[in-house]
């Protein structure tokens, strides 16, 4: 999803937008667009407009209730008075439950994959450097890799010595050992080949990546274990409470939108009170 420029967003702007009679200027929307992504200028414009409508609804509600903005703290990011006013409104108006032990445990049991240490792999390799766009160099590197594969097929114990003697990777000093790696820490081609291997197995074909051509062997795999509930309980509680807070804010905004007069923009509103 790309960012839309101010010039794109400002071209042929939609009709004027107003919230309870307060007009949101096109210039303000155009300025807000830079903070929103969209497949098109119109999508980005709508996202920016929605953000400013929400801000107007909350600021108007805060002033109607006589909410007072908290003082700007001495440290941390600077906030405008309106931002602090809205924050004070939300803290005063919205109450969400704390995530108790039972709720956290239910989430833990329902999402086991989220609370499991990653599998760790210990590969060794021999790299023959070759730029992917250099066909001649790549052919030479692949031929060298196949020659090494033929040798280690009959004498697997020679892999470390060959890595020290031939590899173009700094890991040559360690016999080709890369240490422990997890998914997502190597190139896609290297990872795909690695995941297909059993411990002690050498990949039957050279592995081509942007770095060149590799002879690859998996020495060891450490299976990820489930993290104990006690270790992740606080993380789960924060997630559940933040999710509950975001949902409550969305419901609160929808309720305000349902009670407001919004012109020039379709803002879905709710007619019922918040349900936690």
Give the burial class of 97: count Cβ atoms within 10 A of its Cβ; 0-12 exposed, 13-18 middle, 19 or more buried. exposed
Q: What is the pTM of this model?
A: 0.65
Q: Are 162 and 151 in contact (CB under 8 A)?
A: yes
Give per-residue pLDDT as tens, 1-35: 555 555 555 455 567 899 999 999 999 999 999 99
If DSSP codes are grouped into helix, strand and coil, which group holds residue 25? coil
Q: What is the pLDDT of residue 214?
A: 97
pLDDT at 275: 45
pLDDT at residue 191 in the model: 97
pLDDT in tens, 230-261: 999 999 999 999 999 999 999 999 999 999 99
The domain at 120-222 falls in which architecture?
Roll (3.10)
Question: Number of H helices and number of E strands within the chain?
Answer: 9, 6
The predicted pLDDT at position 234 comes to 97
Supply the pLDDT for residue 276: 46
CB 236 within 8 A of CB 99: yes
pLDDT, residue 11, reads 53
pLDDT of residue 2: 52
* Mean per-residue pLDDT pooled into runs of 10, the chain (276 residues): 52 76 93 87 90 95 91 72 92 93 97 93 97 91 96 94 96 96 96 96 96 97 94 97 95 94 82 50
- Domain extent listing, the chain: 6-99+233-263, 120-222
């Amino acid at each position: 999803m790309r960012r839309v420029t101010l010039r794109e967003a400002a071209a042929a702007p939609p009709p004027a937008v107003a919230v309870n009679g307060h007009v949101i200027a096109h210039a303000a929307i155009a300025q807000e667009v830079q903070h929103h992504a969209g497949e098109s200028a119109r999508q980005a414009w709508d996202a920016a407009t929605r953000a400013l409508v929400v801000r107007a609804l909350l600021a108007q509600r805060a002033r109607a209730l006589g909410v007072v903005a908290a003082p700007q703290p001495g440290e941390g990011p600077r906030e405008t008075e309106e931002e602090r006013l809205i924050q004070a409104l939300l803290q005063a108006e919205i109450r969400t439950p704390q995530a108790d032990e039972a709720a956290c445990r239910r989430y833990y049991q329902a999402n086991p994959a989220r609370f499991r240490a990653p599998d760790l792999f210990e590969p060794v390799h021999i790299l023959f450097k070759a730029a992917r766009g250099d066909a001649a160099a790549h052919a030479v590197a692949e031929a060298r890799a196949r020659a090494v594969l033929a040798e280690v097929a009959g004498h697997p114990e020679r892999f470390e010595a060959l890595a020290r003697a031939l590899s173009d990777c700094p890991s040559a000093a360690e016999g080709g050992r890369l240490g422990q790696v997890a998914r997502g820490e190597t190139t896609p081609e290297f990872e795909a080949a690695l995941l297909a291997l059993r411990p002690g197995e050498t990949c039957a074909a050279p592995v081509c990546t942007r770095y060149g051509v590799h002879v690859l062997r998996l020495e060891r795999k450490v299976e990820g274990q489930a993290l104990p509930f006690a270790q992740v309980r606080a993380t789960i509680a924060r997630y559940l409470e933040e999710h509950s807070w975001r949902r409550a804010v969305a419901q609160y905004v929808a309720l305000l939108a349902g009670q407001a007069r919004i012109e020039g923009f379709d803002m879905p509103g709710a007619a019922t009170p918040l349900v936690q």
